[in-house]
Structures are given as structure tokens and as C-alpha cells.
Amino acid sequence: MRGAGTTVAADAAEGAQTPDAADADGTAAATPAELRGCFGMFATGITVLTAGGESPCGMTANSFTSVSLDPALVLVCVQHDAVMHKAILSEEKFAISVLAAHQEAVARRFADRTRPRGRREFEGVRWRPGALTGAPLVADTLAWIECGLAAVHDGGDHSIFVGSVLDTGRAEAGDALLFFRGKYHRLEPQSHDRDGAATRGGAGDSA
């Protein structure tokens, strides 16, 4: 776990291997666009991060990371200017819904800055309030996690919210929605013939 006050950028500079990854003073030399391209090479799942309260809100997030099993901790990084940032700080609770392969439209909705806000933000999306947090849990997802806010760390233009896991649930079946190279992909199971050769796999992506 990162110590309080240590930034993601500082850690990245410390671990830099190549001369063009950082300037002599340790600041990142890459532009935000280059960084986005580089970071986007790391394939992730996609979640919808939610907070309850008077005005429930949701935000697509792929920065979700499991941190610790005992105690049970997760983290998510949220940009300072997102509505979710203020919501988590005031509610001190949040939930994470892990999207399934068929939920690209949900991911797109909660990443769209022009989406309606307040109760209308969830129009057309099936959800129920989490029993322990009141945060919306999106229906038909692969998994959901309810969290209490355990710590907030500085993460440059994001805050790193560490959540103490209160409750979880998961689906018995279903494939994952993925994000890679700036595009949505569906994880599809590979089937193998009797010699172990793949007969199907990878498949669908969309910009």
C-alpha cells in the first residue's frame, strides 16, 4: 500500500527505467495523451462506481484494484473534478459494480459527462440500493462490492479512495467487459479441441 502523501506520479518517476520516461528533475516527460495511450495498454475490467444519499450518482471506472484480503480492502482512483469525488467524501461509503460483457451501454452512459444527473442519472438502468451503503448496485453485473471509506490518499489530479469491504456478491456465470487501447472489448471464453488447440477466442471489440 502506498504511504499517505506519496503520489502516483512520484512512484512512477522513482521506478522509471528509460531515460525518456522522466526528465532529470523526475517529472513525467510524456504528454497526457501519450500517457493515456501507454496506460491504455494495460487491459482492465470495467466497473461502475456509485454513491447513494439524496442524489445517487454513478461513474464508469477502470482504476478499481483489489488491495488486501485481510483486512478486505479495495481502491479506486477518482479525478478531482468528477461529481463522484465530492459524493464519496460526503457519503463516506460507495459501491462497485463489475460490468458484464453485455453492459457496454452502461459503461458508456456513466462515462458521458453530458448524462442527466440526480435520480435521472439511473433512468433506463436497472439497479437496487445496497443494503449497507444505499449506493446503487447495477443489476446483472458480474459482481458487486459495498465499501466504507477507509482512507483517502493523494493521487495527483485523482484521489485514491481505499474502501473497506462491507459486503460482496457475484454471479455464477457471465463474461467480462474489458477496456484495452481505448476500446471496449468482450472477454469470450476460449474453447479448445481435444488436442488443446484454441478454436475460438478474443473476438468482439468496439470503439
Q: By CB under 6 A, is residue 8 in contact with ligand FMN?
A: no
For position 187 contacting ligand FMN by CB under 6 A, the verdict is: no
For ligand FMN, which is the closer residue by CB, 62 or 97?
62
User: Following CA atoms 75, 53, 156, 1 in sequence, which dihedral angle do they give, to the nearest 10 degrees?
Assistant: -20
Q: Give the residue closest to ligand FMN by C-beta.
A: 63
Cell of 5: 502523501
The residues with which 128 forms a beta bridge, in sequence order, are: 137
In sequence order, the 6+-apart residues with CB closer than 8 A to the CB of 185 are 43, 177, 178, 179, 204, 205, 206
| Minimum separation from the CB atom of position 114 to ligand FMN (A) | 8
Binding mask 37-56 for ligand FMN (x = CB under 6 A): ---------x----------
Tell me how far apart the alpha carbons of residues 151 and 165 are, in angstroms, rounded to a whole number: 12
Q: Distance between CA 168 and CA 143 in Å, rounded?
A: 7
Cα angle 136, 88, 119; round to 5: 40
Task: By CB under 6 A, name the one of 9, 12, 16, 83 that touches ligand FMN.
Answer: 83
Give the residue, chosen from 22, 51, 52, 62, that forms a contact with ligand FMN under the rule CB under 6 A.
Answer: 62
From residue 118 to residue 147, the character string flagging contacts with ligand FMN as x (rule: CB under 6 A) and all else as - is: ------------------------------
Rounded to an integer, what distance in angstroms lies between the CA atom of residue 148 and that of residue 153? 15
Nearer of residues 29 and 154 to ligand FMN, judged by Cβ:
154
Q: Which positions touch ligand FMN (CB under 6 A)?
A: 46, 59-63, 77-79, 82-84, 111, 113, 158, 179
